[in-house]
Structure 1
Amino acid sequence: MKQKKTVRAVALGLAVLLGLGALVGALLPLIY
């Protein structure tokens, strides 16, 4: 059960990182 929670947390972290990366990638051309 503890391992499943960890996997979920890691997946969530990856999803957040991907979302932030996509956001930055979309905003950079607008800023520069």
Structure 2
Amino acid sequence: VKWEIERLEAIESGEYAKTPGAIQTRKEIEEGLNF
């Protein structure tokens, strides 16, 4: 779970958003949080 948190933080900081597939990954994370 730690790597998921770090990835979320990276997305929020805007660093991960620069990488390919960031939008898809973000959608997957948001869907995963809606349980």
- Greater C-alpha Rg: 1
**Structure number with higher relative contact order (C-alpha < 8 Å, ≥ 6 residues apart):** 2
